[in-house]
Amino acid sequence: MKISAFYVGSSLLSPLKQSEQSIVADYGIKVLIKTYNLGAALNEAEWAEAESDLMESSIVFVFHVVDGENSSRLLNLLAPVEGIDRTVIVVNCMPDLMRCTQMGRLQFSKLFGRSNNKRSETAHDFEPQGRARRLFSSVSGWMGEQVKGHKNLGRRNHTQYLKYVERLPSLLRVLPVPGPLRDVKHYLNIFCYFLQPTPANIRSMVLYAIKYYGPREEIGSTKLKYSLPETLPAIAIYHPEATGLFETFESYSSWHEKRPGTMSGRLEPSRTIGLLLMRPQIPPFRPLWTIESPVKSSFSQEMTDVGPCRERTI
């Protein structure tokens, strides 16, 4: 089973390849994930390889592709081809790419661009299907704002992002939506995994997509098990010697006072260095040693304390 993933950035390659290896080892399913980083333009040979992979892929992921040239090239490759049945999952991309999303009965091309015909408010608007529609509309609207913010170098809606991180997993767990909106809920669940792309969440996202959209003849009777989305604080303090993230300065300060090797229990501003880090630069998004060694080696031996390092979504 071949899966193609197109993305921008450095945080997805490692967890995608780890997912491939663990799924093969745990379930014996022959899964091959081909990855393409569209942070820069691909050469003609790479686009030719991507086209070949897409023709053979059962599932296609596209994340964060907002560059005009790359979007146009990929858009042509994602056009429907007679005789090829594949699932295309596009998240947080240019509008034309978003319209390529096709998951079972869910086709963004039929949803976006429709006239907004008013419909009468009936009781079913307050039932699960109505809630699913409103939630889906909210998520798709937010992704559109994110793309516009990237294109115009404007402010992005981080407040809404934090709300999704905090609330969306629990909302989806209590939203049973069978029937015609089943694929809408599947899309929202995959989006939920992607909101916090830890290695565990990316693995579950891939397993989830395979379970519901992978070719039956290759999955057979294998029972695929995926975990609920792993939730971490969206804004936190990180220290390379701590076992986890600190959600408040008070909790960090309390830990620091008890940490062995400090010259005094209190944080001393003149001897404390803080770094503003993006999410992919900290564990569990990145292995501990990749940040711990560079941070510590960057400062003089006389600097006895390194911290706090504050992580914020940008």
pTM: 0.69
**Is position 159 within any domain?**
yes
Contact present, 242 and 308 (Cβ < 8 Å) = no
Q: Do 270 and 302 lie in a common domain? A: yes
pLDDT exceeds cutoff 60 at 163: no
- 103 phi, psi to nearest 5 deg: -135, 100
**Is position 228 within any domain?**
no
Q: What is the mean pLDDT of the chain?
A: 75
Q: Do 207 and 122 lie in a common domain? A: yes
Q: Do 161 and 15 lie in a common domain? A: yes
pLDDT at res. 133: 55
Contact present, 75 and 47 (Cβ < 8 Å) = no
Question: Quick one: which H or E segment has residue 61?
Answer: strand 57-63
Q: 217-245: per-residue pLDDT in tens?
A: 999 889 999 998 887 777 788 887 787 78
Percent above pLDDT 90 for the chain: 30
Domain boundary among 168, 194, 219: 219
pLDDT exceeds cutoff 80 at 138: no
Q: Do 68 and 174 lie in a common domain? A: yes
Q: Do 42 and 113 lie in a common domain? A: yes
pLDDT at res. 177: 56
Q: Do 282 and 193 lie in a common domain? A: no
Distance, CA of 147 to CA of 180 (rounded, Å)? 28
Domain boundary among 190, 219, 248: 219
pLDDT at res. 107: 85
- Counting DSSP H helices and E strands in the chain, the numbers are 12, 9
Q: Do 40 and 188 lie in a common domain? A: yes
**Is position 231 within any domain?**
no
Q: Do 253 and 211 lie in a common domain? A: no
Domain that includes residue 12, residue range: 2-219
pLDDT at res. 176: 54
What is the total count of domains within the chain? 2
